[in-house]
Amino acid sequence: MSRLFGTDGVRGLANAELTADLALRLAQAASQVLTQGRHADEVRREGRKPRAIVARDPRISGEFLTAAVSAGLASSGIDVLDAGVLPTPAAAFLVNDIQADFGVMISASHNHAADNGIKFFSFGGTKLPDIVEERIEKALEGPRLQPTGAGVGRIRRFADAEDRYVLHLLATMDVSLAGLHIVIDCANGAAAGISPRAFKDAGAQVTVIGSDPDGLNINEGCGSTDLALLQKTVIDVGADLGIAHDGDADRCLAIDATGNVIDGDHIMAILAVSMNSRGLLKSSTVVATVMSNLGLEIALNREGIVLRRSAVGDRYVLEDMELGSFNFGGEQSGHIIFADHSTTGDGLLTGLHLAAEMVRTGKTAAELASVMTALPQILVNVKDVDHTNLDSDAEVAALQKELEAELGDEGRILLRSSGTEPLVRVMVEAATQDHAESVAHRLADLVRSRLSR
Q: Which of 31, 107, 109, 274 is catalytic?
A: 109
* CA 223 – CA 333 distance, rounded (Å): 12
Active site residue 109: yes
Q: How far is CA 9 from CA 36, 198, 281, 354, in A?
A: 20, 28, 30, 28
In this structure, the number of other CB atoms found within 10 A of the CB of residue 26 comes to 26
* CA 297 – CA 286 distance, rounded (Å): 9
CA atoms within 13 A on the CB side of 320: 21
Q: Which residues are marked as active site?
A: 109
